[in-house]
Each structure stands twice: as C-alpha cells, then as structure tokens.
Amino acid sequence: MPPRANLRAIALHAALILGAAALAVPIWLAFVAATRASADFVAGDVGWLPGPHGFANFWTVLAAGDSADGLPPAWPMLLTTLVVALLIALGKIAVSLPAAFAVTYFRFPFRSLAFWTIFLTLMLPVEVRIVPTFQVVADLGLLNSWAGLSLPLIASATATFLFRQTFMSVPDELTEAARIDAAGPLRFFFDVLLPLSRTNVAALFVILFIYGWNQYLWPLMVTTEPRFYTIVVGIQRLALAADEGTAVWHYVMATAILALVPPVAVVVGMRKLFVRGLVETEK
Amino acid sequence: MAGVTLRGVKKRYPGGFEAIKGIDLDVPDGDLCVFVGPSGCGKSTLLRIVAGLETASEGTVAIGGRDVGALGPAERDVAMVFQNYALYPHMSVFDNMAYGLRNRGAARPEIEARVAEAAAMLDLSALLARKPRELSGGQRQRVAMGRAIVRKPALFLFDEPLSNLDAKLRARMRVEIRALQRRLGTTAIHVTHDQLEAMTMADTLVVLNAGRVEQVGKPADVYARPANRFVAGFLGSPEMNFLDGEAGPDGRIDFGALGSLSAGAGARAPVSRKVVAGIRPENLAPAEGDGPDRLSLTVDFVEELGAARLVYASREGRRVVVHTAAHGGWAPGAPLALTAAAGDVRLFDPQGGAALG
C-alpha cells in the first residue's frame, strides 16, 4: 500500500475509533455504575471496572423493585413502552402506506394540497403542538389510555413522505404491466408495491420503534396512572428519587441499561433489512 | 385472433404538443406489424394507445372489430412486452408468468399447464423458480415474452423489447420472436427504432415520422419504392446516397461536375427541373468502358466489412458511399468511376421530398 493511502486509512480509523469511544464510554460507565453498591456512590468511588453487584441490581430493578426507596419493578414499564413503541411504529406504517399510495398513484382533486398538508406536519412535532394536542386528547377522554399515548404520535408525515419517495422510484412500466395483467389498485398495492417496499418498511419500522421507545414528554403529560408509565418516564422518576433520598444511582443506571436493550435488539435483529432499505433499490 | 383498426387517431398532450397527428391504419389478423421510426416519432405513444395505457385525444381504436376506446388495458385482451421487461422483481419466473392468469381467475391446474407450455416453448422450464435478478438479459427477455404468451391474448404489443440486448442476442431473438409469432398466429405490433429489426421481422412495415405515417407496406416494397425521401433515407444502412441534380427531357440526370446518370422513362420532364436523386450504396458499381452513365469521383477511404466493403468517394464536397463485394482498386486518392442502372435511381422532389415518377 502506498504511504499516502496508509496514512489516510490510519486517520480514518482513528476518527472512527474516537467516535465509537465517545459513544461507548458513557454506556460503559452506566453499566459499571449499575454493578456497584449504593455505598460506592456515597464514597465517590465508582471506577472503571464492574463491581460484584451486577446480577443483584438488575434483578432488583427488573423484577423485585426496591420498596424501601419506593421503586416499582421495571418490567411492567418495559412492557408498557414496548406496547407504545409497537403501536406507534405499526400504526404509523399502517396509516402512511395507504396515504402514500393515494398521493402517489391517484389523481384526485386537491391531491397536491393533501400532500402538502401531510408534509406540513413534518414541521410540527408533538413538542411544538403539545398544548393543543393535549387539549384535544383530554377532550376526547383519552388521558391515561393506550390511544392517548400513541395516537398523537402516529399522526405525522415522516413515514408518508418516505413511502411516497419509495413508490415514486417504482418504474412506471411495472404499474403498466400490472394494469395489463388485470391487477386492480388494491391488488397492485398488495402484490407489487408492498413486497417491493419490504426493506423500506423494515427500515422505517426500526426508526419509528426507537422514536416511540424514546418518547418522554408526551407520555409524561398524558399519563398519571403508574400502569401507563413508560421506561423513560420511569427513569426520570428514579432519578428524582435518587436526587432527594438515598443514592440509588446504581438502580437508575441499571434501569437505563435495561431501557437500552430492546431498541438495540431491534436494530441488531433488523440490521440487514434496515441497511438495505436505506441504501438499496431493488427495483 | 383479431386485426387492429385505427381511424383518425390523434394524441395531444395538455401542453398542446401533438404527438400523433391523425393516423389511419389496418393491421390484418395474424400479421406482425412493425412500427418503425426515429425517436420521438410517436411510435411508442401509438402502441400505448392501442394498449389502453394512454387514451387517444381523437379517433377510434378497434381490436378484432370491437371498439376498445372505453376499455382499460386489462379488458382489451392484449399482452405487452416492455423495453425493460418490467418483470415483477420479487416474484419467481413462474409467478411472473402466472400473475395475469391468476388475476383473471384462472384455475390452478390451468395456470400450471399454460405456464409449463409457454416455458417449454421458450426454454424456461428449468428457471421457473428463479427470481428475475438471477437471470441473464436474454432470459429476462424470454420471461417477458412468456408472460405475454401464457395469456393467449388477441394481440401482442412489443415495445422495443430487443433494444436492451447485445447485438448477437438481438439477432437471435429477432428470429425467435418471428418464429413464435408465426407459430401462435397471434396478431402482433412491434415497435422499434432499428430499421434492420423492422425490415427482418415485419409482415407489414409502418414507417412513422413526427406523428404521421410516412409509408405502409411489405418491407421489400417499402425498401425498393420508398414513398419519399425520409423513408428512403431511414431504411437501409448505410443510408441511401442523395445527390442534387437536374432532370432533363431525355430522362438523364445531370450532376454537374460529377457527371450524369440515366434515370429511365419516368424521369423525363418536358422542361429541365431540379431533383434529388437517391441511389442505394449497393446499387452503385464501378463503371465499365466509357459509357455516358457515369459519376467521376475520388476514393476517400474504405471500410472493410469482411464479406463486403464500403467505399467512400467524393468530389467537390459531395460524398457517395458504395457497398460492394469486389476487392481491389480502392486505394484512397485513386479516381473512381461509378454507374447505376436506370431503374435504381430514385428521384425525389427537392421541396417536400415526395418520390417522383
């Protein structure tokens, strides 16, 4: 290898290693903290290596809870979060696919108005419209419900927009071949368009699942009953408890690590489809 | 089985551009009709109008005597092969071929029998489980053909199906498609910009230019008696030689410094007039002796084709190409005397280009 290319490779790798470290070190520290005892935090001696209390801490957080400090077990919250994230991801995909199909393939009056109206919501995430949205959800009596948790987050344009781009990249000849093959719009949608968008659906599912999993502000607003607490809200409550009472930072960190596992599992599990959906055009 | 009848078909786009400017055409039952013309001549648009993928702004389209103007592509009983094949990428070869039958509610055993039959005909039987991306270009092309023939439609529509193949495969597929169409006896319209493909495949040749039909006829007739200068120039490779000249009362065409040629009785005019003489490269030959029918030129260069050669000669900036099987004597810079039989000199009006005589 010529020295220039060598140097370039070294520089690139150095940058990648630094970036990876910047991402990994906090997670490692959180993991280390999760394996320590409460006393270590008081002593200010956490260090860089895992302590001996890992299994006990994770077990306490996940299943038993710490009634002394008023901590509920984490698994119901994980379950709630899973349901919410799935509702949001699947709901969005289910709504966006037909919406994108309509604005791409049908010439109806005010089509572009419809599209741009959908597009406009891209600029209005929940955080921006939180007060009116809360009002609407409250008026509909959806506070403390699954619908209240997921519906306002389902209604947004990202997925519609992405599917529209995907559909537009499907060659016209394929549509025409299907018309000659006597496939009506619905047949075409289910037999041709949907299978061709498989990887895009997968990629979007990953993104939306993580988006739903990480929701914080909205679940905090619309839920007051503990059974609807999502894991992110749970961490916040733990941190509050740790601030005021005993230093249960080991539990906080253990919960954070637990909250990290499902999204990572989704990304790793769907890695291949995810990457293909983002970079490859199979058409 | 069905013929196709077009009457006064026009296609105007919303911008006002007229792609098809009024076409009347009859394609007889069982015919392989080739639409040929340069790109932008409207041949694909016309095919798509027949398919029902586009609607004519004016005029009627009938397939098998039935006016199909109000019918969608699926109801017209046509099958189409697209330029890029448009195979469903996620379906196996079998499913690609079966899809149209399934949507029409054919029973499973019948679908299997028909696909098997078509696959056998096209040498695809071993590939039925493959996906299109695992096939070569020629195989994909055959799957597209198979998708058309399993349906046993009244009419095949081929939209430049060979243009994505390499030259060798194209020559083979030309013959295969031709033979297949004969065997099935199904009427077919084939669109191409390749004049060789058009000549070799067509029963009926339709030469299109700028949204109009320039000439319709058997390929050999159109080639031998082009209706105008456009058709004469479009068919044949290398292109017909066009030389400006003057036709006299004696039927001779005077090319000034180049010399003169006899153009037969048809060229006789009471008074001299300007004409464009068209002579195909294969109809020019070295002049023997020193008769009056000769063009005197200088050899510029020679293109060797193996079985024959193309000799480019010129004088005073007017160039002529000769397609000849004869060897020797073609040294660049050497003088060259050429002649052509009177019957091989076609005359065209300098204005408008219509054939004269």
Confidence class for position A76, pLDDT limits 50, 70, 90 = confident
B51 touches chain A (CB under 8 A): yes
Return the residue in A180, A188, A197 with the most chain B beta carbons within 10 A, the one to mutate for interface testing.
A180
Calculate the average pLDDT of chain A.
Answer: 85
Average pLDDT over residues A255-264: 89
Q: What is the pLDDT of residue B142?
A: 92
User: Based on the number of CB atoms within 10 Å of its own CB, is B16 exposed (0-12), middle (13-18) or buried (19 or more)?
Assistant: exposed
Of A176, A181, A195, the CB nearest to B103: A181
Q: What is the pLDDT of residue B83?
A: 92
Domain boundary among B234, B268, B297: B234
10-residue block means of pLDDT along chain B (357 residues)? 90 91 94 94 94 93 92 93 93 95 94 94 93 92 94 94 89 92 94 93 95 95 94 93 89 88 73 88 88 90 90 92 85 90 90 85
Residue A218 structural domain = 76-224+272-279
| Digit-coded pLDDT (tens) for A208-242 | 999 999 888 888 888 888 888 888 888 887 777 76
A5 part of a folded domain: no
Residues B294 and B329 occupy one common structural domain: yes
Output the domain CATH number for residue A207.
Answer: 1.10.3720.10
Q: What is the pLDDT of residue B222?
A: 95
DSSP A52: T
Domain boundary among B234, B255, B279: B234
Residues B200 and B184 occupy one common structural domain: yes
**Distance of alpha carbon B294 from alpha carbon B345, whole angstroms:** 12
Residues B79 and B222 occupy one common structural domain: yes
Q: Are B339 and B294 in contact (CB under 8 A)?
A: yes
Choose among B295, B47, B45: nearest CA to B190.
Answer: B47
Q: What is the pLDDT of residue A70?
A: 64
Average pLDDT over residues A15-41: 87
A281 touches chain B (CB under 8 A): no
Residues 6 or more apart from A203 whose CB is under 8 A from it? A273, A274, A275, A276, A277, A278
B80 touches chain A (CB under 8 A): yes
A251 part of a folded domain: no
Residues B111 and B36 occupy one common structural domain: yes
Give this complex's ipTM.
0.85
A230 part of a folded domain: no
A176 touches chain B (CB under 8 A): yes
Residues B209 and B291 occupy one common structural domain: no
Kindly tell me if the per-residue pLDDT of A56 is higher than 90. no
A53 part of a folded domain: no
Q: What is the CA radius of gyration of chain B?
A: 24
Q: What is the pLDDT of residue A283?
A: 45
Residues B226 and B311 occupy one common structural domain: no
| Digit-coded pLDDT (tens) for A58-74 | 887 777 776 666 677 88
For B76, nearest residue in chain A (alpha carbons): A180
Tally the domains of chain B. Answer: 2
For A281, nearest residue in chain B (alpha carbons): B89
Residues B217 and B336 occupy one common structural domain: no
Residues B333 and B211 occupy one common structural domain: no
A151 part of a folded domain: yes
A36 part of a folded domain: no
Domain boundary among B186, B215, B234: B234
Q: Do residue B89 and residue A173 have CB atoms under 8 angstroms apart?
A: no
Q: Are A100 and A158 in contact (CB under 8 A)?
A: no
Residues B58 and B174 occupy one common structural domain: yes
Q: What is the pLDDT of residue A248?
A: 76
Q: What is the pLDDT of residue A77?
A: 87
| Digit-coded pLDDT (tens) for A144-177 | 889 988 988 887 788 888 899 899 999 999 999 9
Output the domain CATH number for residue B296.
Answer: 2.40.50.140
Chain A residues with beta carbon closer than 8 angstroms to that of B86: 171, 173-174, 176-177
A32 part of a folded domain: no
Residue identified by tokens 């280390």 is A32
**Closest Cα in chain B, distance from residue A174 (Å):** 5
Residue identified by tokens 């058709």 is B231
Q: Do residue B88 and residue A198 have CB atoms under 8 angstroms apart?
A: no
Return the residue in B50, B71, B103 with the most chain A beta carbons within 10 A, the one to mutate for interface testing.
B103
Q: What is the pLDDT of residue A64?
A: 73
Tally the domains of chain A. Answer: 1
Residues B225 and B256 occupy one common structural domain: no
Output the domain CATH number for residue B202.
Answer: 3.40.50.300
A196 touches chain B (CB under 8 A): yes
Residue B121 structural domain = 4-234
Q: Do residue A180 and residue B104 have CB atoms under 8 angstroms apart?
A: no
Q: Angle formed by the axes of helices A249-269 and A231-244, to 10°?
A: 160
Residues B229 and B251 occupy one common structural domain: no
Residues B172 and B307 occupy one common structural domain: no
What does DSSP say about strands B4-12 and B18-27: parallel, antiparallel, or unpaired?
A: antiparallel
A181 touches chain B (CB under 8 A): yes
